[in-house]
Amino acid sequence: MRIKIILLLAALLFIGGSLTAQKEPAKPRIQFSSQNYVGILEGETGTEFQLQTINGLRYKTWFAGLGAGLDYYYLRSIPLFASVNKFFPLAKNSLFFNADAGVNFHWKRRDLYEIQYQNEGKYFPSLYWAGGVGYKFASKKRSDGFLLNLGYS
């Protein structure tokens, strides 16, 4: 009877020890990431707002993706662009630099723009580019956070 109890205890210790020795699965090196911005644009013709979403892949301290937005500055437009960010970790938060390049499509409103700007309605897609520096305030999960970006486009 004692041998059965000893064998049972040994088996339980062996099984329990093997369960605690398992490692957490490794995170994939390349991960999907998304950046969503609500911004204020300031310039010679006043203050307007913009919305942008960028979806792509993150690898270590790099992020690259494709983005689209809605830009109300001067003439309403829709930028479609590629974006690259480089993050520099600072403890929990991080500093980052970004660069965007793509095409800006005008979203014409005849009633307003043709009267206000005396334009005959001929609008063509144009170059869109932007660059900036920002700061990422990390949340409890290091992969999430709040981005504050100051840029020029």
**pLDDT tens, residue by residue, 82-136:** 999 999 988 888 999 999 999 999 887 655 555 555 555 667 888 999 999 999 8
Query: What is the overall mean pLDDT for the chain?
Result: 81
Q: Is the pLDDT assigned to residue 25 strictly greater than 80?
A: no
Task: Give the per-residue pLDDT at 64.
Answer: 97
Q: Is the pLDDT assigned to residue 55 strictly greater than 60?
A: yes
What is the C-alpha to C-alpha distance for residues 101 and 133, in angstroms, rounded to an integer?
15
Task: Give the per-residue pLDDT at 10.
Answer: 64
Contact 96, 84 (CB under 8 A): no
Radius of gyration of the chain (CA): 26
> Half-sphere exposure of residue 84, counting CA atoms within 13 Å on the CB side?
4
What is the C-alpha to C-alpha distance for residues 96 and 131, in angstroms, rounded to an integer?
11
pLDDT band at 15 (very low <50, low <70, confident <90, very high): low
Task: Give the per-residue pLDDT at 109.
Answer: 61
Collect all residues with Cβ–Cβ distance below 8 Å to 66 and sequence separation of at least 6. 54, 55, 56, 80, 81, 82, 83
Q: Is the pLDDT assigned to residue 38 strictly greater than 80?
A: yes
Backbone angles phi, psi at 108, to 5 degrees: -75, 140
| H helix and E strand count, the chain | 2, 7
